[in-house]
Amino acid sequence: MSQTPVQPHPEVARATGVVLFGGVLMTQFLGLPLGFRLESYLGVIMILSGLLAWAGAVGLLADGGRPVWWYALANGTSTIFAWFFTYLFGLPVTETSYKGQWSDRNGLLLLFFSGNLVMLSAWVLRTRQRNTGLPVVSARDRVNKQA
């Protein structure tokens, strides 16, 4: 007997994605003083990262389509890679090496929000990919396909 995979409700997934993007934005905002204290280019990068998170949240509020979820997946994945590279190799062009400071609170929050954003967007994209070729068998499916 085959089981149907659990699918995220579109509105709940969008709202959760907005909250996760908001978490990334607030984490970047809270880390701004440290970023500017270490080196000014880090503060600017944190502002840009926060603006990208804000754009993702606005995109999810406006439209929950596949391109927005691909954006969420790319944003979360790139943030996770940047987090790992920062803590493995340190920051370039700074006097203070940030290498090996794995217990940094802002870094762990950023990893938490970005990791959950990656998992949510992958889940949404995976379930939408499975449902694209299925036949319409009920009026409810017909309404869902039109939406």
Of 115 and 140, more confident? 115
Q: Tell me if 1 is assigned to some domain.
A: no
What domain range is 103 assigned to? Answer: 10-132
Residue 98 lies in a domain: yes
Report yes or no on 138 lying in a domain.
Answer: no
DSSP state of 90: -
Give the contacts of 88 (CB within 8 A, at least 6 positions apart). Answer: 99
Q: What is the pLDDT of residues 21-72, one digit of tens each?
A: 999 999 999 999 988 988 898 899 999 999 999 999 999 999 888 899 999 9
What number of helices (H) and strands (E) belong to the chain?
6, 0
Which are the contacts of 134, defined by CB distance < 8 A and separation ≥ 6?
A: 141
pTM for this structure?
Answer: 0.80
How crowded is the C-beta side of 116, counted as CA atoms within 13 Å? 15
- DSSP single-letter state for residue 12: H
| Residue 141: inside a domain | no
Q: What is the mean pLDDT of residues 109-119?
A: 96
Dump pLDDT digits (tens) for 69-102. 999 999 999 999 998 988 888 877 777 776 777 7
Within-domain flag for 23: yes
Residue with tokens 């880090």: 42
Number of structural domains (the chain) is 1
pLDDT at position 126 over 60: yes
Provide the CB-side half-sphere exposure for 70 (13 A, CA): 5
DSSP state of 104: -
Confidence of residue 138 (pLDDT cuts 50, 70, 90): low
> What pLDDT was estimated at residue 68?
93
Residue 143 included in any domain = no
Are 118 and 70 a contacting pair, CB within 8 Å? no
State CA 3 to chain mean position distance: 29
Residue 97 has which token pair? 């090496």
